[in-house]
Amino acid sequence: MKHQTVHYPRIAPAIGWTVTILLVVLAVLIGRDAFPEQTGLEPWWRMWLIAFASWLGFKTIAFLYCRPRPAFAFLLWPGMDAANFRKRKTEPLSNPVPPFAIALALMLGSAVLALAWMHFLTGESLRVTGALGMIAIVSLLHFGLFALLANGWNALGFAAEPLMHDPWRAESLADFWGRRWNRGFSDIARLAVFRPLVRKFGALTGTLAGFLVSGIAHEIVISLPARDGWGLPTLYFLIQGTAVIGERRWLTTRPRLRRTLTWLVILAPSPLLFHPAFLTEVIAPVFQIPTPILLR
């Protein structure tokens, strides 16, 4: 059986990135005046508005790159694996998804923890509150709600790839960022940045460009709502990209050292990604709301 090469229209990348940039700019302009500053939560709502605009843009890119076009169900899934939504499958799916009970428990447990932190952490350090709040948000959405959605779409015959695929089992940095952590963005980076540049300029350029784009995307969602911390998320992802290149060159035959350095490189510079301004100005204010007011 001959291997079929998928040829994407050359105009697709230009259209997709143009739409993405326009949506983000529109979100920034709307968010500048839409949320009254006296509430103290305007950075929080700006973040979600910009994140939603970025997500719509990435959806556009994934849609344009997919041949044949995915089913409408793809628009109702947070991931970017459009090829898995081309048609419904009738045979049992081998795609691994988190068990429904575990995903539900993570979602509910994260919600309970978030409410508890809102109650008990009022008056605590804003950085501590923001850091714990980020853990609750990621657990609630990526490991909880989105895992439940993956279960649902798989049950309906669409092989939705879970956004988080056991990241704690990562064998390397490339394994962690490429297929285990937030696959929605890594799919877009691989499709629209890494592969095109690798074909033209080689793996080194493609890898660094992919992580550079990831840094810029996080600047938009993290530093822009906080209006501070510029350059820190980009620096974080350039460190990750440089380390990925290094492990491919020098650590391919040393799996234990590679796994150890993977977590060191991910965690040690993480304050660059979730920098103090983001934690204190965007995340912490939400978790400083007393629970009686929140539930009123």
CB 190 within 8 A of CB 197: no
Q: Is 91 left (phi over 0), alpha (psi -120 to 50) or beta?
A: beta
- Dihedral, CA atoms, 250, 255, 259, 264, nearest 10 degrees? -30
Residue 123 pLDDT: 61
What does the alpha-carbon distance between residue 245 and residue 81 come to, in Å, rounded to a whole number? 25
Residue 33 pLDDT: 79
First to last CA, the chain: 63
Per-residue pLDDT of the chain (296 residues; tens, 9 = 90+): 444 445 555 677 789 999 999 999 999 999 887 876 656 789 999 999 999 999 999 999 999 998 889 999 999 999 999 999 998 876 656 656 777 777 888 888 888 877 777 767 666 688 888 998 898 899 899 999 999 999 899 888 898 989 999 999 999 999 999 999 999 999 999 999 998 899 889 999 999 999 999 999 999 999 999 999 999 999 999 999 999 999 999 988 889 999 999 999 999 999 999 999 999 999 999 887 765 444 44
Q: Note the helical H segments in the chain.
A: 11-34, 42-65, 100-120, 126-138, 146-155, 173-175, 183-189, 195-201, 203-218, 224-226, 232-250, 255-267, 270-273, 276-278, 284-287, 291-294
CA atoms within 13 A on the CB side of 164: 19
Residue 294 pLDDT: 45
Residues 6+ apart with CB under 8 A from 163: 78, 79, 142, 146, 147, 150, 182, 183, 184
What does the alpha-carbon distance between residue 284 and residue 255 come to, in Å, rounded to a whole number? 38
DSSP secondary structure letters along 202-219: -HHHHHHHHHHHHHHHHI
What is the pTM (predicted TM-score) of this model? 0.90
